[in-house]
Structure 1
Amino acid sequence: MTPADQRHIPVLGRQAIAWLAPRDGGLYVDATFGAGGYSAAILKTAGTRVIAIDRDRRAVTAGFDLVDRSDGRLTLVEDRFSNLAEICAAQGAPTVDGVVMDVGVSSMQLGEADRGFSFRLHGPLDMRMGHQGATAADVLAQASEADLANIIYIFGEERHSRAVARAIVAARKQAPIETTRALADIVAKVVRSKPGEIHPATRTFQGLRIFVNAELDELHLALSAAERVLKPGGRLVVVSFHSLEDRIVKNFLVERASAGGGSRHLPELAQAAPSFSILTKRPVTPDAAEISANPRARSAKLRAAERADAPAHAAGELPAWPTLERAMRGG
């Protein structure tokens, strides 16, 4: 198998399709198209149709060949997956039989130096999955020290976030921080790591990337959108790669699968009926062979659930964490 072929095999891809369980003639949403691995696998089931979404124009352009080979069964849309309900409606498909998501940055994006996602590759500090809005370099130039510390702590889970923020603010007074190498060097001076541990800049890069792309807000919104479009019996399958994402998916499914009848203090306030039944009581994780073939797989977790007959729950408010708009005002 060539490296190009390997790009088309998503982490936990076989398990994801098994839990999605495509049916002949079914309609499915591949909410994170990437290299098209999920879409191609779904289309192997006779008569299936796929609405695929990706906010990355490069991924969409690269997917045109699969669209051409799909005999009209694959529709590929450049958009955010938080908009999947509106996308489905625009395609004349207000309800679907399944939704699959692979959350986070793709291996392709990490391997493109000019995208600025990886501290291992020298390139501009962009980090945008799409092609609009502020870059990571813009955030480093504009955000206050307090906002930078919060961004790196909340989204990167970096316990040295205050020291990193101080170092960034001190460095930008001398020169703009515009490259991956420049940021990685700044972080490495204040975050120490032992041999065998992750690179000192790993969490800072993660935090900035998640923040620039509003990835956790997008995930919250996409899960609610999937709940609205799934038919009873339709399946939701989500693969995530770090604890922040997995916690959101787990909490969403637990909440949606819970039945309630109000509290003993306010018994008249009945809760919404369960809208999902959880299929994976524990998250599915990759085996040793997959981790050996793709070290990035080691942190992957898959959760799956089946849509119940009950109406979708009301969407909750997004968490009150740092926003790009506030950061770009400099506090």
Structure 2
Amino acid sequence: MDLRLGIVGCGRISHAHGIAAQRIGKGLRFSACTDVNEDAARNFATTYGSNSFYTDYAEMLKKEQLDGVVFATWPAQHREQIETAIKAGARFILCEKAMALTGAEAVEIYDLAKKHGVTIVEGFMYTHHPAIAKLDELVHRDVSGAIDSVRASFHMFLPEPEGTQLTWRQRKETGGSVPYDRTCYPVNICARYAQALPVKVAATVAVSEKLGTITRLYGEVTYENGRVALIESSNTAVFGQEVQVTCANRIYRLATPFTMPGDGTVVEIEALKFSHIREHTHAVKSPLPVQDDLPSFHAYRPQLENFAKVVAGQAKHSQPLLVESVVNSFTLDGLVRAGLEERVVKIEIPEHIKKDWRAAREGSFA
């Protein structure tokens, strides 16, 4: 029997999950959907074959027998929606980024999930693109040497509108500021290669006088093991994404790591001697040809497949682990505070979170 999934929020990004389910085919489907906009919910149901659609997500959670729930909603809604889902009996949740607006919110989600035995996955689909696996492989070769630092950027030109027509990305009440829409990606990938808990952050931010949202964030994160991350995200820069991992003997760069529409290329830089370098390129094929629009990008399919395996009991964990998302929420929270308060911020993570994070790193996390 197919896994029965429900989706909350039927806006643009919901179609990424719907298309992923169609591509997977037999084994899972979105049997129910909900959106406050009835037309959006009806359209999703018609397009992806849902049996039922709703305008009240709590009603859907109460009435439907679902194996898993996907939240394709605004960041500011996640804390309340996740709690409602857990209280309604949901045990497997895939939540679009950013899962939480603050570290405190993330801890509340974590503690509630742990109390009820709930698996929650934050939706960083990019981690499922084969180019990320290739970057992992290259970085961790002996020839690379120890990781020194990570630099990651995600820019997208998004000028302030002249009138009152705002997207969710420009509305403070939805969690639409740069940190929760884009900075969360660099924070996530930097933590992947830092491989340690963050201890302090510094940042510079710009705030829209008109909208009250953060429009630029440039930050530095220092980790327990001495590794450093440099993070960049802006609404006033041309679209661009990149991650660079600098090691003792090699540098690795990957362009557009977070939303790769097709194939990827990891560039490896080898220093032959002072001022003399040699570049090696590692081409990575995507299972699909170049896709035109974000919802059709390949990475959403393996993300949903992995989530489905966890739901079906065929896999133990789905990446990222919830405790990793909680730690990253503290990093993002700290960067925002550091920028707004113009000071270095010490990252203070609760002891039980640090304990569980370390257990997860050691492979003993249940």
Between Structure 1 and Structure 2, the one with more strand by share is: 2
Between Structure 1 and Structure 2, the one with more helix by share is: 1
* TM score, norm. by length of structure 2: 0.25
* TM score, norm. by length of structure 1: 0.27
